[in-house]
Amino acid sequence: MSEAKETTYRKAVGKAIDDAMKKDERVFLAGEDVGRYGGSYAVSMGLLEKYGPERIVDTPLCESGFTGMGIGAAMNGMRPIIEIMTVNFSLLALDQIVNNASHLLHMSGGQFNVPLVIRMATGAGKQLAAQHSHSLEGWYAHIPGIKVLTPATVQDAHDMVHLALADPDPVIIFENALLYNNKGTLDTSLEPLPIGKANVEREGKDMTIFAYGINLFKALEAAETLAKEGIEAEVVDLRSLRPLDDETIVASVKKTHRVLIVDEGWRSGSISAEIMARINEQAFFELDAPMYRVCTEEVPIPYPRHLEQAAIPTPDKIVAAAKKMMEES
């Protein structure tokens, strides 16, 4: 029986955390302002009153400290959800995430799993300037030992919390800050798509646009514009950046023979570069044109709105790149 309801991305994440805490007393949430303030993005509103300060833990402004606490708790049987206010601040916990959480299973000879979930806001577009706006999920996708999830839809925003909590290893969930107010359908009776599985959001025959997070919706908007001009673009939501779903990526390339990747990270050393490399390795002779990508300009994210919009991917930039690719093939 369907249990579909209209809700927001924010409420979908909050519901997933609430349901997980009801079901499993080992689950707790910790981070800056998650308790009395209700979360910097209002995801945890009301949970402190429901579960108390031992399970909804307001932490000091010390990402390295509370992330390390989460690692220790995970190693000792708890199921922590660590909320880092913004991806830029996660760099203060980089040693804990990269040198400890991701490596402990290997370095202990398989004795210690670290079932840690880290959630953080990512992305630009809200005029929060360079200290709060970058998209560094591609950096984390470079690290073996962790999984990197990028939920775009309301359904994934909910389901990926549960998938991450069920995983025996560290999982980082990147929630684009512009998505929290997005509305969509949440059906809790559906079986979640597994970690590492991409999803074809729009069928097409002329080219494939690969995207994730907020850029899924920019890609879909661009695809609608292209369709009016006779170009049918397939849009694939990557959903997971580590592991990547090579099977779905290659299958779409074999279908459309043209590739455009939308990535809010910087171009150099980006996840888009990794995807292009994999396509070259596995499906080069299926391509009818050089692969294109739309990335963020290689500058710190500007504060003024017109400059911020000029720096990040937009539907217009996606349409322009798609047309150029079609002209060259």
Q: Is the peptide bond before 243 cis (omega within 30 degrees of 0)?
A: yes
* Structure token digits, residue 260: 């455009």
| Tokens 């307001």, located at residue | 58
- Nearest one of 213, 219, 211, 285 to 249, comparing CA atoms: 211
Q: Is the whole model's pTM more than 0.95, yes or no? A: yes
Residues 119 and 89: beta-carbon distance below 8 Å? no
Task: Quickly name the fold that domain 4-187 has.
Answer: Rossmann fold (3.40.50)
Are 4-187 and 199-328 the same fold in CATH? yes
Provide the pLDDT for residue 328: 84
Q: Is 106 part of the annotated catalytic residue set?
A: no
| Tokens 């399970």, located at residue | 55
Provide the pLDDT for residue 1: 54
Residues 6 or more apart from 240 whose CB is under 8 A from it? 147, 148, 149, 150, 195, 196, 197, 198
- Amino acid (one-letter) located at 287: L
Question: Residue 151: how many CB atoms within 10 A of its CB?
Answer: 27
Provide the pLDDT for residue 329: 80
Rounded to a whole number of angstroms, the distance between the first and last alpha carbons of the chain is 47
Annotated active-site residue in 3, 32, 49, 63: 63
pLDDT by residue, tens only, the chain of 329 residues: 567 899 999 999 999 999 999 999 999 999 999 999 999 999 999 999 999 999 999 999 999 999 999 999 999 999 999 999 999 999 999 999 999 999 999 999 999 999 999 999 999 999 999 999 999 999 999 999 999 999 999 999 999 999 999 999 999 999 999 999 999 999 999 999 999 999 999 999 999 999 999 999 999 999 999 999 999 999 999 999 999 999 999 999 999 999 999 999 999 999 999 999 999 999 999 999 999 999 999 999 999 999 999 999 999 999 999 999 999 88
CATH architecture of 199-328: 3-Layer(aba) Sandwich (3.40)
Burial of residue 229, with CB atoms counted within 10 A of its CB: 0-12 exposed, 13-18 middle, 19 or more buried: exposed
Annotated active-site residue in 25, 49, 83, 132: 132
Beta-bridge partner residues of 31:
58, 83
Q: Is 103 part of the annotated catalytic residue set?
A: no
In the chain, where the domains are located: 4-187, 199-328
